[in-house]
Amino acid sequence: MTYNERIAEITKSPTALFALLGVFLLIYLILRIRKIRFTTQMITLVGISVALSTVLQLITIIKLPQGGSVTAGSMVPIVLIALFYGPEVGFLTGFLFGIINFIMSPFALHPVQVLFDYPLPFMAIGIVGYFRSYNTKGILIGVILAMLARFACHFISGVVFFGSYAPKGTSVYLYSLLYNGSYMSLEAIITCVIIAILPIKRLSKLVKKQTSLN
């Protein structure tokens, strides 16, 4: 199936469009309830984060046939946004990246599969925002939990929608665990290493200082 055929298959499905719209509206409601004010600086950094994640996603170390890859730290910009502005903005950034990721390299079997392989797993990275007040060790625990949440989305998709790819006699649960775990574990390690190296606290203070000046 060609790129255009995949896009057409999803866009012609009201279920897929309503599902994506529903997720976006949910994020919007959360942002409104939390009374998060979008500044010019925040919008700019979110846009830069999505763009940088997209570029890093293209730098693949390992790419698997049914989707999934080990990248050059493509989750790091989303993690940083969640640490700077909190989990809600992290969810939004992950959602936007997931949509762009789907448009660039769509792999669509079912509208629900699209949700579990694109917007939802990358939204899960925003979970690390709940750990932004912790030290480096605490932040890394948040990163691991966020990556586990992303893995859970891909694992469910693998069991429900990609079970037919499992070798004969192999449990679909084991197949999904090994398939998704093989690249997600490496992706988590790369993300943790980069986050551990970066001066997170200093960067956060710089962002807060710039926000107060605006």
**pLDDT of amino acid 22:** 74
**pLDDT of amino acid 15:** 64
**pLDDT of amino acid 181:** 95
**pLDDT of amino acid 70:** 94
Query: Cα–Cα distance between 168 and 85 in angstroms, integer?
Result: 47
**pLDDT of amino acid 17:** 65
Return the CA Rg of the chain: 17
If residue 92 lies in a helix (H) or strand (E), which one and from where to where? helix 87-104
Query: Cα–Cα distance between 83 and 87 in angstroms, integer?
Result: 7
Q: Would you give per-residue pLDDT tens digits along the chain (214 residues)?
A: 555 555 555 555 566 666 677 777 878 787 778 788 888 889 999 999 999 999 999 999 998 887 789 999 999 999 999 999 999 999 999 999 998 988 887 777 777 888 899 899 999 999 999 999 899 999 999 999 999 999 999 999 999 988 888 888 889 999 999 999 999 999 999 999 999 999 998 988 888 877 766 6
User: Which residues fall within 8 angstroms of residue 134, CB to CB, at 6 or more apart?
Assistant: 141, 142
Query: Cα–Cα distance between 187 and 178 in angstroms, integer?
Result: 14
Domains of the chain: 3-208 (1.10.1760.20)
Phi, psi for residue 94 in degrees, rounded to 5 = -65, -40
Angle between helices 40-58 and 76-85 (to 10 degrees): 160
